[in-house]
Chain A
Amino acid sequence: MDKLKTGIIAPPGLPAMPARWFDRKGLVQIGLLALLLLAPLAAYLLGHIYYINLASRITVIAMAAVGLNLAIGYGGMVSFGHAAYFGLGGYVAGISAYHAFDFTPFMSWPVAIPGSDSMLVIWLAAILLCGLLALAIGAISLRTTGVYFIMITLAFAQMMYYFANSWPSYGGEDGLPIYLRNTLPLVDTNQPLVFFLICFAGLLLSMAITSRLMKSRFGAALTMARLNDTRLATAGISPYPIRLMAFVISAMITGLAGALYADLNGFISPTMLSWHFSGELMVIVILGGVGRLYGPLAGAILFVMMETLLGGLTEYWKLFLGLMLLCVVLFAKHGVMGWLAGRERNE
């Protein structure tokens, strides 16, 4: 026992040490965040607004992927329909801004709902509505597994897409511009750097929530639902409500990202709801590393940079993206994060 106490032998019954900031994984993670934060600051000092907006785009898409990663990576629920929540979040921002700009109510019966150009109101509405939508879609979809789950989530998202496409009040397939970026108290959201920092805070928050969640009892149950749901049920915990809750939280994060994306572009269109975007989010999650906290960020940086750099050179940049994805799936199953930071250790 004395030996144990003096630490010559690691005492049994102690969990594996968590990552330290100075080990390989910690350095990679800090490096990614620093890159994302410092690049737009440098661009700001040099006066290149374009690059600030590019960083905002990476950040928002990473945040949407953080949401999807919670479903796919941590929950084992391969949703092919997260564009539904991204788009719904975007439409909440767009429609609300449209009515605020016009001074027309969104609804006057049975309850009067005015438009609002306050981001706080919009975010809250986007999160709530996405949560409700995911509750309905998840409740049905989670009764299936495997390919059926993929297809049914896709089907729901496509229903949203066609609905937005054919609903003329808010631009139909042409989309809807947001003439004035929505506002936050105390800060000027029109400043690209300010808007970037808002997005960055959103990304950090969503990652912190994911991390904390996965360490909690809920996370332990969700992990078990993914790895072995028989074990979970045999222990006396029904996997279904655990999965459904994770699906809802996942959709809320992606929905909030959608609201930010609408404000970033000053424009919403059914494209945000299309299956292409669901697919891109999946590609980002897989590229970055499924079930890795920083995977979505690494994936989004890679994806958007390729889109920007290669897309500038050739129209066929997605060919290279496809090749890269193929390499990741075949040779580096743990994605960019697995490659940079090493395999994830489980306790």
Chain B
Amino acid sequence: MSESVLSLTRLYKRFGALQATHDVSLDLQPGEIHALIGPNGAGKSTLIGQIAGSLRPDEGSVHLAGKEITALNVSQRARLGLGRSFQISSLAEPLSVMRNVMIGVQALQGHSFRFWTPVSRDESLQAPAREALERMRLGHRAWTPVSELSHGERRQVEVACALALKPRVLLLDEPMAGLGPEGTAQLTELLEALKQEVPILLIEHDMEAVFRLADRISVLVAGSIIAQGDSATIRRDPHVREAYLGD
């Protein structure tokens, strides 16, 4: 457990009468994809909020690379190496793909209070951004406004933005949402190639992708994790079948 990159320890979060997170513990090991699945309303978003820093847990702790980050906010966690993508695209639409990715590189370099040098000629910003885009096979779209991209391309840009942070952990919130079979297959392939470098906590609805990609799966139902294991175990688990897979 000590070597896990990201670990949640006994998280609780309550909204009024609703116990949105109930005693959730999970961890992410180097080189793995850990998938978090669960039906709608299971508390996935609440849990993501607590990992990313937009929500504080009532109890429990979050550690990133051995460091406690429970009290840190979104941008502090990002600076410590937590890269995330959003379920609903959170890109700045009028700007080019490059500009969206470059902001991450800029954050990584930590020099946002520079007022004079134009970014448009700053290779130290552009080269890493281009590299992140190439990894997502979007190099040819670098200077296209995000508003002109297809849905699938936007999902890839989201991941590229997270990659630009050179994160220790990727937190991907339904990256396949709204993608066709082709887009899903492509993204699955890209993520598979990525996991050796950056472990991924994947929140996903697409079961096929999850079973193909995930080394381990945690199933969240009504705020609690009811099962954890590799895909074969999860497929066989009677509670999971009942609660989620619908047989």
Q: Enumerate chain A interface residues (CB-CB to B < 8 A).
A: 12-16, 18, 212-213, 215-221, 223-224, 227-228, 230-238, 242, 245, 346-347
How many positions in chain B have a CB within 8 Å of any CB in the partner chain?
49
Given A13, A221, A346, which contacts B95 in the complex, CB threshold below 8 Å? A346
- B139/A13 in contact, CB under 8 A: yes
A218-B112 contact in complex given A224-B103, A227-B93, C-beta closer than 8 Å: yes
Give Cα A97–Cα B20 distance, bound, in whole angstroms: 65
One of B72-80, B188-196, B211-219, B220-228 contacting the partner: B72-80
Output the nearest chain B residue to A221 by Cβ-Cβ distance. Answer: B112
- B62 interface contact, C-beta 8 A: no
What is the distance, in angstroms, from A33's C-beta to the closest C-beta of chain B?
22
- Count of inter-chain pairs, beta carbons less than 8 A: 129
Q: Which residues of A contact B140 (CB under 8 A)?
A: 12
- B116/A15 in contact, CB under 8 A: no
- A228/B117 in contact, CB under 8 A: no
Output the nearest chain B residue to A218 by Cβ-Cβ distance. Answer: B115
Task: Mark B75-108 against chain A: 1 for CB-CB distance below 8 A, else 0.
Answer: 1101100001010001111111011101110111
Give Cα A238–Cα B74 distance, bound, in whole angstroms: 8
- B103/A235 in contact, CB under 8 A: yes
Q: Which residues of A contact B74 (CB under 8 A)?
A: 230, 233-234
Q: List 20 A-B contacts (CB under 8 A).
A: A12-B140, A13-B126, A13-B139, A13-B142, A13-B143, A217-B117, A217-B125, A224-B92, A224-B103, A230-B74, A231-B92, A231-B103, A234-B84, A235-B78, A235-B103, A236-B76, A236-B165, A237-B107, A346-B95, A347-B143
Q: Which residues of B contact A212 (CB under 8 A)?
A: 115-116, 118
Output the nearest chain B residue to A232 by Cβ-Cβ distance. Answer: B103
What is the distance, in angstroms, from B85's C-beta to the closest C-beta of chain A?
9
What is the distance, in angstroms, from A17's C-beta to the closest C-beta of chain B?
11
- A347/B99 in contact, CB under 8 A: yes
What is the distance, in angstroms, from A56's C-beta to the closest C-beta of chain B?
29
What is the distance, in angstroms, from B116's C-beta to the closest C-beta of chain A?
6
Q: Enumerate chain B interface residues (CB-CB to A < 8 A).
A: 52, 73-76, 78-79, 84, 86, 90-96, 98-100, 102-104, 106-108, 111-120, 122, 125-126, 130, 139-143, 145, 161-162, 164-165
Given B75, B91, B116, which contacts A216 in the complex, CB threshold below 8 Å? B116
Q: Which residues of B contact A232 (CB under 8 A)?
A: 75, 103
Q: Which residues of A contact B94 (CB under 8 A)?
A: 227, 346
What is the distance, in angstroms, from B51's C-beta to the closest C-beta of chain A?
12
- B117/A221 in contact, CB under 8 A: no
- A217/B143 in contact, CB under 8 A: no
Give Cα A235–Cα B99 distance, bound, in whole angstroms: 12
Q: Which residues of B contact A15 (CB under 8 A)?
A: 96, 98, 120, 143
Given B107, B118, B141, which contacts A235 in the complex, CB threshold below 8 Å? B107
Output the nearest chain A residue to B84 by Cβ-Cβ distance. Answer: A234
A233-B78 contact in complex given A217-B117, A218-B112, A347-B120, C-beta closer than 8 Å: yes
- B111/A217 in contact, CB under 8 A: yes
Q: Which residues of A contact B142 (CB under 8 A)?
A: 12-13
A233-B112 contact in complex given A12-B139, A12-B142, A346-B95, C-beta closer than 8 Å: no
Q: Which residues of B contact A346 (CB under 8 A)?
A: 94-96, 99, 145
Q: Which residues of A contact B84 (CB under 8 A)?
A: 234
What is the distance, in angstroms, from B79's C-beta to the closest C-beta of chain A?
4
Q: Which residues of A contact B143 (CB under 8 A)?
A: 12-16, 347
Given B93, B102, B111, B119, which contacts A215 in the complex, CB threshold below 8 Å? B119
- A215/B96 in contact, CB under 8 A: no
Give Cα A12–Cα B125 distance, bound, in whole angstroms: 16
Given A216, A221, A347, which contacts B103 in the complex, CB threshold below 8 Å? A221
Q: Which residues of A contact B93 (CB under 8 A)?
A: 227
| Extra 8 A-B pairs, beta carbons < 8 Å, given A217-B106, A217-B125, A347-B120 | A217-B119, A230-B74, A233-B75, A235-B106, A236-B108, A236-B165, A237-B103, A347-B96
